Amino acid sequence: MKITRRSLLATSGAAILSSTLPRRGWTETRVELDGGIEILTLSDGNLTLPAEFIFGPMPGDELAAVLARFDMDPSAPLTPPCNITLLRHGDTLALFDAGSGTAFQSSVGALPDALAAAGIDPLDITHVIFTHGHPDHLWGALDDFDEALFADATHMMGRIEFDYWMDDATVESIGAERASFAVGAKRRLEILADDMVLFDDGASVLPGVTALLTPGHTPGHMAFVIGEGAQAVMVLGDAIGNGHIAFARPEWTSGSDQDPEMAAATRGRLFAQITAADMTVIGFHLPGGGIGRVVQGSDGFTFQPEM
């Protein structure tokens, strides 16, 4: 496995005007696996979330102590990065998640700019593989005219996840805080449904890429394992949803998970699997571009971005 970081801005040429540059706080991280598989992450921008969206159910005193390690204030708004994973293998150019698009928050939706800076046309994308149906992962699949932005791509989603968001009962059961997520997901999935390929736990979604049901954040959330053995890279989506508390206290329930108990159990299983195999991970909301290693310490885990 070869991991490199470089400045995308410095290598994409002077022809790109500064006004069109993606909002990006890090250099591009690129992982090359044996067999010609190349993986990189692109920034869709940063979300802005109230602190209680994640920290609400957590014990205040201990929370403050853990966050102090990260120079974080427990009451300050959170600005998690959004990292889209791009896999290139032969003629395949696959995105894992599609970002937020322009209808969710103003600080996200930069993926089209990031693709342009990398010299990739949306029509070059062959597959869009969703981890789950939340706005920051799904809504960017459509353009401002409600048509598929990646018009030539095969769109793929876990069957449980797709059925959950397509169910008319979900908007009633999901709670007022996320009702707009349900309406927004159903509307977009109805547009994409005819060409959507559904898959189940353990499915090979691409050659060498295996789906892993990781429920809790949403009912049918999927992570993906690319490659095997010491070469393996896990695309986590939001199954491990931040680089601070989710690593330091994976057993704590988080307000950002739809089934917090189930999500905590999933995190426990994932950390065991990742550390046993010493896998590289890619997290949608992890810092430094989202690609890194998991380090087990005496007091929880830490995320070490690849440098």
Binding residues (CB under 5 A) for Zn ion: these are 136, 238
The CB-of-31 to Zn ion minimum distance in angstroms stands at: 21
Distances, alpha carbon 83 to alpha carbons 43, 79, 147, 212, in Å: 5, 13, 23, 19
Task: Kindly tell me which of 113 and 136 has the beta carbon lying closer to Zn ion.
Answer: 136
Using DSSP's 3-state secondary structure scheme, residue 143 falls into coil
Q: Map tokens 């290598």 to a residue.
A: 11
The CB-of-82 to Zn ion minimum distance in angstroms stands at: 7
Distances, alpha carbon 170 to alpha carbons 100, 135, 164, 165, 198, in Å: 21, 15, 7, 6, 19
Task: Kindly tell me which of 122 and 133 has the beta carbon lying closer to Zn ion.
Answer: 133
Which strand (E) or helix (H) includes residue 183? helix 179-192
Task: Kindly tell me which of 37 and 156 has the beta carbon lying closer to Zn ion.
Answer: 156
The CB-of-288 to Zn ion minimum distance in angstroms stands at: 17
The CB-of-84 to Zn ion minimum distance in angstroms stands at: 11
**Token duo for residue 11:** 């290598």
Q: What share of the chain is helix, strand, coil (3-state, %, to 5)?
A: 30, 30, 40
The CB-of-39 to Zn ion minimum distance in angstroms stands at: 19
β partners of residue 212: 223
Task: Kindly tell me which of 246 and 248 has the beta carbon lying closer to Zn ion.
Answer: 246
Task: Kindly tell me which of 238 and 257 has the beta carbon lying closer to Zn ion.
Answer: 238
Task: Kindly tell me which of 28 and 238 has the beta carbon lying closer to Zn ion.
Answer: 238
- Cα(65)–Cα(7) distance, integer angstroms: 35
Task: Kindly tell me which of 136 and 161 has the beta carbon lying closer to Zn ion.
Answer: 136
The CB-of-238 to Zn ion minimum distance in angstroms stands at: 4
**Token duo for residue 18:** 């500064």
Task: Kindly tell me which of 37 and 97 has the beta carbon lying closer to Zn ion.
Answer: 97
For 163, other C-beta atoms within 10 Å of its C-beta total 14
The CB-of-131 to Zn ion minimum distance in angstroms stands at: 8
Interstrand relation of 92-96 and 127-129 (parallel, antiparallel or unpaired): parallel
Contact status, residue 191 vs residue 148, Cβ threshold 8 Å: yes
Per-residue b/e over 100-127, b at no fewer than 16 CB within 10 Å? bbeebbeebbbbbbbbbbeebebeebbb
Could you tell me which of 306, 274, 259, 293 has the C-alpha nearest to residue 132? 259
**Token duo for residue 170:** 């979900």
The CB-of-137 to Zn ion minimum distance in angstroms stands at: 6
